[in-house]
Amino acid sequence: MKSTATQLGTAEIGRTFSWVDLVILLSVFGLAWTILHFGHGMTVHFDEGQSPEISTDVRNIPYYAGRTVLRMWIAFGFSLLFTFAVGYAAAKNRVARSIILPALDILQSVPVLGFLSITVTGFMALFPGSLLGVECASIFAIFTGQVWNMAFGFYHSMVTIPNDLQEAATNFRLSPWQRFGTLEVPSSMHSLIWNSMMSFGGGWFFVAQSEAITVLNKNIKLPGLGSYMATAVEKGDNTAAVWAIIAMLAVILASDQFVWRPLLAWADKFKMELVESGQAPQSWLYSFLRRAYIFPWIEEKILRPLADAFVQLKKNTSAIKLIPENPRKLAGRWIPRILGVVAGCWLAYQVVLGVIAAVDAVYNHISWGQFGHLCFLGSLTMGRVTLMTIVATLIWTPIGVWIGSRPDIARFAQPFAQIAASFPVNMTFPFVVGFFVAAHIGINWGSILLIAMGTQWYILFNVIAGAMAIPSDLKEAAKTYRLSRWAIWRVLILPAIFPFWVTGACTAAGGAWNASIVAELATWGNTTLRADGLGAYIAEVTQKGDTPMIICSIAVMCIFVVLTNKLVWRRLYGYAEKRFHLD
Amino acid sequence: MTAALKPSSTKAAAQGPVIAELCNITKTFSVAGGRELKVLDQIDLAIHEGELLALLGQSGSGKSTLLRCLTGLTAPTSGRVMAYDKVLDGINPYASIVFQTFALYPWLTVEQNVAVGLMAKLLTRAEKEAAVEKAIDLIGLNNYHDAYPREISGGMRQRVGIARALVAEPKILCLDEAFSALDVLTAENLRNEVVTLWKEQATSLKSIFMVTHNIEEAVEMATRICVLFPHPGRLGLVMENNLAYPRNPHDQEFERLVNVIHDTITMQALPDHPPEPAPVSGRPISRARARLESIPTVPVGRVLGLLSILQDHPELDNIYDIANEIGKDYGETISLVKAAEILEFVDTPKDEVRFTELGKKFMDADSDTRKKIFAEQVQKLRLFHIILGYLEVQEEIDRETVMKDISTALPYENPEKILETMIAWGRYAGLMDYDANTEMVTRPEEEEEEEEEEEKTEVGG
């Protein structure tokens, strides 16, 4: 991003090096050392027989937290790469789009956690005798948990770039790279950062879950906060468990303060509107970084000469091959096409192989009766998801509207709700299960609460956002006509927050399916509570390593999710878009 | 100010080498219902070095499409585009566009936005900075280097647009309604500066090609003016304008040119028809009944507004004065007058506008009678029989079918816009209703249900 560097170089920024630059330099070196330090631990020897021992000593928490955070960022890095590559391809190429969009749609409804056992065995085969295989499986789980919605978001903002801005780029003959850097990424920046923030928040759930897993009847623990928690619960060490929760909260808060807030403050200028917006997001770290001289210095002394040298080089080479322009142009058109076809064929071949293998494995293993049982379990879980959505809506809608119509409270409450949604509630499940045991609450009902703990927040902060977006003239009009409280709700508030509620409830329901795998089979010390449902079933066959049943049960869950998406949420979206759109 | 001709320079200019040329260009778009809409029809147009060519046309006449063909942003369906003596393949390297909406990147400063015009060139940073500085200086943007587009006024934003276009060193500058989003004073100032830029030839710039709907703007700036007739877009009038700069709008010759263009557009939009045949047995036959005629896509409220202004100001008798009074441009005013004429409320011999007997009756009536008269007039229009015919035999008819019929009947018009207008007129006349949820055109609801309907609309809005 050439543009940003130049911006930092202008206006109110210091002209000499100061202590600010020293702090930044030290932080950069510190960060590099930390990454190496934690990264080293990822490649240590690993033997399937004995997984690394997790110590519940509180002094080890910083190290474990570091490992967890590193995993998150590696997964996020891959997600970002995938987002750019796939989103770009979908926006630019018609053929690619017709494959990518439906594929993303299905993939984002697949309950990732169910696949953990398959991916773990796969990655372990890839890196025999090294912990890296398990690390990869964990990172892959986080990746699949966060990437789809980012890719969708990027694709969507790519195709909604205003036409005149596109035409300007075409008219001034920007190269594809220049177009990408000057127009396409900046115009998607705002939504990209918001989506990343949401996805990253969702990732904590998967990292906590995937660090301590039971696959093929073997306990595998990766050093990290999630496994620390699991070990503490196994040992019944409550103090350690509380420390783990505190550490997790601290890590989430730190990511917010050190990464997302500064990014949001920086990205404010990428908003599309040409009018000054009301209140720009603030970040102390961003203000601090803007005082540094080091960025303009790098721009001036390193990037500029480099760019000039590059231009010089290109000038020299282009002078030589001026004449054979046409063949290159032809090749430039055909090579990517041939590569694309080859890659597509290979991918299709692999998919077909996989499907054949899966069908073969399943065919001899499962009877129609078993399949019927799976569907019955699926409808039980579906009942839980539906009940959770309804109850959460009834509880949080009034609260969300109350908060949303008081801007000063909303400003404080919204980030809080976001952090609450980020917190991996599966870490607190053991305590809640302990409470269920003590209070004699059946897990069949209790699991609904467990599911709700993770997903209800999406409903809350979407409702808050909806209530905040109600134009004040509409509110004033309602007041002028002296509408009754109920009439205001019916005529103004409910229609206005409906589109936001649909988004929130759809996300919550989607997350609930994933959460059911964790929530329906919960452990507290030596007690294991098992609810009747598809989630518990998947969790069980995963632990046993029964591949055909894993495939079947996940397939059934996918069918449930895809069907509800198509039959319920897609229609509600359409209806909301048509009837209740405020512009 | 004299209306002296400036024969030497402009004549030479017209004979200068051709920078860009459209050869027998036709452009069609596919519209809803899988139909093809022809926007440009067999256009031949050459732009010579040294001229300032203005293309005049109403909105929807295809002038922006023509500009996009010329600059290579869209490829014509048939025909060739030439850039100097080569057939154009891709983007025209000699042309830069200045956009109506400015098309600035909100995340780049003024300086960086201008530098976008240089991106295709292999230049070192120092060379780029010098070029940007020169353009900024030339266009009067000093001290705005580090401002963001959202911090500066519309006029300043368009200056950035012009600087960005100039820094690419084009031979031809394409102005796509570049002044129409600006206020009157700012636009006037900027127009003068653009003409000066072109006249002084301080840059690589040889010619300007401007697309506009503003007749005075064209006459004030251009050395040659082309009028594009709509549906489908084809070249009508082409005329030279040799007035000396700076041009004075109150100059006799200036006014004459404006009038010639007015007359041309009026004759095209509101042709004088032979007198109508005598009414037969109480049921008058409109000429729109004999021949299926399109309707101008204007809202009912504006037509009524026009009529009431005509009533209040009897002294307003020609379209030009009306346009001035209501503050709309000539093209839009003509559309309004044409709508009133189709409904037989006014008559338009040449460019005069007079109330008909029916029009006077309509203006004096109360709102219920007005509705009734309006409905009678709408029913005479053959275009409306497409929908009314369906509604005679069935409760409702889906939008797609109606659109298909419209595009069969009026192949050069946008069926979506026509249908939108028809529904608006039909609703006012109480002849039909439209349900946006089911996308069905329906018979109007009975009177007693009307109140409930109103309440619904309120909730939805």
pLDDT tens digits along A234-279: 787 888 888 888 888 888 888 888 888 888 888 877 876 655 555 6
Q: Which residues of A touch B99 (CB under 8 A)?
A: 164, 167-168
Amino acid (1-letter code) at residue A279: Q
Residue in A272, A307, A495 nearest the CB of B125? A307
The CA distance from B435 to B398, in Å, is 10
Q: What is the mean pLDDT of residues A321-332?
A: 48
A334 three-state secondary structure: helix
In this predicted structure, what is the pLDDT of residue B446?
62
Q: Which residues of A touch B103 (CB under 8 A)?
A: 162, 164-165, 167-168
Q: What is the mean pLDDT of residues B3-16?
A: 46
Closest CA to A166 of A273, A92, A116, A75: A92
Q: Which residues of B touch A187 (CB under 8 A)?
A: 107
Helices (H), A93-162: 94-107, 116-126, 132-159
- Asked whether the beta carbons of residue B105 and residue A318 sit closer than 8 angstroms, the reply is no
The CA distance from A222 to A51, in Å, is 8
Residue A527 at interface with chain B, using a CB cutoff of 8 Å: no
- Asked whether the beta carbons of residue B437 and residue A578 sit closer than 8 angstroms, the reply is yes
pLDDT above 90: residue A81: yes
User: What percentage of chain A carries pLDDT values higher than 90?
Assistant: 2
Closest CA to B38 of B65, B20, B59: B65
Q: Which residues of A touch B86 (CB under 8 A)?
A: none
- Asked whether the beta carbons of residue A311 and residue B164 sit closer than 8 angstroms, the reply is no
- Asked whether the beta carbons of residue B93 and residue A173 sit closer than 8 angstroms, the reply is yes
Q: Which residue of A has its CA nearest to B151?
A: A276
A270 to chain B, closest Cα gap in Å: 5
Q: In Å, how far from its chain's centre is CA B444?
A: 34
A5 to chain B, closest Cα gap in Å: 11
Length of chain B measured in residues: 461
Would you say A173 and B93 are in contact if contact means Cβ atoms under 8 Å apart?
yes
Residue B95 at interface with chain A, using a CB cutoff of 8 Å: yes
Length of chain A measured in residues: 583
Q: In degrees rounded to 5, what are phi and psi of residue A430?
A: -55, -40
Q: Which residues of A touch B460 (CB under 8 A)?
A: 495, 579
In this predicted structure, what is the pLDDT of residue B272?
64
Name the band, by pLDDT with cuts 50, 70 and 90, for residue A47: low
What long-range pairs does A433-439 form, CB within 8 A, spacing at least 24?
A433/A522, A433/A523, A433/A524, A433/A527, A433/A529, A434/A524, A434/A525, A436/A529, A437/A524, A437/A527, A437/A529
pLDDT above 80: residue B420: yes
Residue B182 at interface with chain A, using a CB cutoff of 8 Å: no
Q: Which residues of B touch A495 (CB under 8 A)?
A: 459-460
Residue A271 at interface with chain B, using a CB cutoff of 8 Å: yes
In this predicted structure, what is the pLDDT of residue A274?
54
In this predicted structure, what is the pLDDT of residue A318?
66
A127 three-state secondary structure: coil
User: Both tokens of residue A581?
Assistant: 């759109």
User: Both tokens of residue A458?
Assistant: 């999406």
Would you say A117 and A550 are in contact if contact means Cβ atoms under 8 Å apart?
yes
Name the band, by pLDDT with cuts 50, 70 and 90, for residue B12: very low
A&B contacts, CB < 8 Å: 102
- B320 CB-side CA count, 13 A: 15
pLDDT above 60: residue B288: no
In this predicted structure, what is the pLDDT of residue A82?
92
In this predicted structure, what is the pLDDT of residue A48?
61
Least confident of A225-234, A300-309, A533-542, B12-21: B12-21
pLDDT above 80: residue A579: no
In chain A, where are the structural domains located? 71-271, 365-579
Closest CA to A572 of A501, A468, A512: A501
The CA distance from B320 to B330, in Å, is 7
The CA distance from A515 to A111, in Å, is 9
The CA distance from A115 to B415, in Å, is 52
CATH topology of domain A365-579: MetI-like fold (1.10.3720)
Q: Distance of CA A15 to CAs A10, A232, A295, A378, Å?
A: 10, 52, 11, 64
In this predicted structure, what is the pLDDT of residue A329?
52
Q: Which residues of B touch A332 (CB under 8 A)?
A: none
Residue in A3, A307, A579 nearest the CB of B107? A3
CATH topology of domain A71-271: MetI-like fold (1.10.3720)
In this predicted structure, what is the pLDDT of residue A429?
79
Would you say A189 and A267 are in contact if contact means Cβ atoms under 8 Å apart?
yes
State how many domains chain B has.
Answer: 1
In this predicted structure, what is the pLDDT of residue A328?
46
Q: Is residue B327 part of a domain?
A: no
In CATH, what number is assigned to the domain containing residue B109?
3.40.50.300
Q: Which residues of B touch A164 (CB under 8 A)?
A: 99-103
Fold agreement between A71-271 and A365-579: yes
The CA distance from A456 to A466, in Å, is 16
- Asked whether the beta carbons of residue A164 and residue B73 sit closer than 8 angstroms, the reply is no
For chain A, positions 415-444, list CB contacts with chain B under 8 A. none
In this predicted structure, what is the pLDDT of residue A10?
42
Q: What is the mean pLDDT of residues A525-550?
A: 80
A347 or A112, which is more confident?
A347
- Asked whether the beta carbons of residue B116 and residue A7 sit closer than 8 angstroms, the reply is no
pLDDT above 70: residue A315: yes
**Facing residues of B347 across strands?**
B354
Residue B149 at interface with chain A, using a CB cutoff of 8 Å: yes
Residue B16 at interface with chain A, using a CB cutoff of 8 Å: no
Residue B180 at interface with chain A, using a CB cutoff of 8 Å: no
Q: Is residue B110 part of a domain?
A: yes
DSSP character string of A371-432: HHHHHHHHHHHHHHHHHHHHHHHHHHHHHHHHHHT-HHHHHHHHHHHHHHHHS-GGGTHHHH
Residue in B105, B117, B125 nearest the CB of A308? B125
State the CB neighbour count (10 A cutoff) for residue B378.
23
Q: Is residue B348 part of a domain?
A: no
A171 to chain B, closest Cα gap in Å: 6
Q: Is residue B123 part of a domain?
A: yes
- Asked whether the beta carbons of residue A11 and residue B105 sit closer than 8 angstroms, the reply is no
Prediction pTM value: 0.77
pLDDT above 70: residue B116: yes
Residue A322 at interface with chain B, using a CB cutoff of 8 Å: no
Q: Which residues of A touch B135 (CB under 8 A)?
A: none
Q: pLDDT tens digit string along A383-440?
A: 988 998 999 999 989 988 888 888 788 777 777 777 877 888 777 777 788 788 888 8
This model of the complex carries an ipTM of 0.72
Q: Which residues of A touch B182 (CB under 8 A)?
A: none
State the CB neighbour count (10 A cutoff) for residue A487.
12
pLDDT above 90: residue B430: no
For chain A, positions 1-30, list CB contacts with chain B under 8 A. 3, 6-7, 10-11
- Asked whether the beta carbons of residue A171 and residue B71 sit closer than 8 angstroms, the reply is yes
Amino acid (1-letter code) at residue A159: V
The CA distance from A514 to A388, in Å, is 14
Q: Which residue of A has its CA nearest to B122?
A: A311
In this predicted structure, what is the pLDDT of residue A275?
54
A328 to chain B, closest Cα gap in Å: 16
pLDDT above 80: residue B111: yes
For chain B, positions 439-458, list CB contacts with chain A under 8 A. 458
For B23: left if phi > 0, alpha if psi spans -120 to 50, otherwise beta; the answer is: beta
The CA distance from B344 to B356, in Å, is 7
Residue A186 at interface with chain B, using a CB cutoff of 8 Å: yes
The CA distance from B181 to B99, in Å, is 10
Residue A314 at interface with chain B, using a CB cutoff of 8 Å: yes
In this predicted structure, what is the pLDDT of residue B211?
92
Q: pLDDT tens digit string along A118-135?
A: 777 788 788 777 778 888
User: Both tokens of residue B303?
Assistant: 């037509």
- Asked whether the beta carbons of residue A172 and residue B101 sit closer than 8 angstroms, the reply is no
Q: Which residues of A touch B73 (CB under 8 A)?
A: 167, 170-171
Per-range mean pLDDT, top range of A351-365, A397-411, B315-329: A397-411
Residue A311 at interface with chain B, using a CB cutoff of 8 Å: yes
B435 to chain A, closest Cα gap in Å: 12
Q: Which residues of A touch B157 (CB under 8 A)?
A: 274
Residue A576 at interface with chain B, using a CB cutoff of 8 Å: no
Closest CA to A478 of A468, A465, A488: A488
pLDDT above 60: residue B6: no
**Facing residues of A214 across strands?**
A219
The CA distance from A167 to A117, in Å, is 49
Per-range mean pLDDT, top range of A147-161, A389-403, A535-549, B381-395: A389-403
Residue B318 at interface with chain A, using a CB cutoff of 8 Å: no
The CA distance from B421 to B339, in Å, is 11
Closest CA to A233 of A530, A527, A531, A535: A527
Q: pLDDT tens digit string along A4-19?
A: 334 444 444 456 777 7
Please, what is the average pLDDT of chain B? 79
Which residue out of B88, B91, B107 would a mutagenesis test of the A interface target, given it has the greatest number of A Cβ atoms within 10 Å?
B107
Residue in A164, A275, A491 nearest the CB of B101? A164
Q: What is the mean pLDDT of residues B199-206?
A: 80
In this predicted structure, what is the pLDDT of residue A76?
92
The CA distance from A169 to A176, in Å, is 10
Q: pLDDT tens digit string along A281-300?
A: 777 777 777 777 777 777 77
Q: Is residue B347 part of a domain?
A: no
Which residue out of A8, A167, A171 would a mutagenesis test of the B interface target, given it has the greatest number of B Cβ atoms within 10 Å?
A171
Rounded to 10°, the helix B330-342/B300-312 angle is: 90
In this predicted structure, what is the pLDDT of residue A535?
86
- Asked whether the beta carbons of residue A174 and residue B119 sit closer than 8 angstroms, the reply is yes
- Boundaries of domain holding B183: 7-266
Least confident of A67-71, A462-466, B4-8, B45-49: B4-8
The CA distance from A528 to A543, in Å, is 14
Q: What is the mean pLDDT of residues A56-63?
A: 81
A275 to chain B, closest Cα gap in Å: 5
User: Both tokens of residue A574?
Assistant: 């359409």
User: Both tokens of residue A390?
Assistant: 């309804």
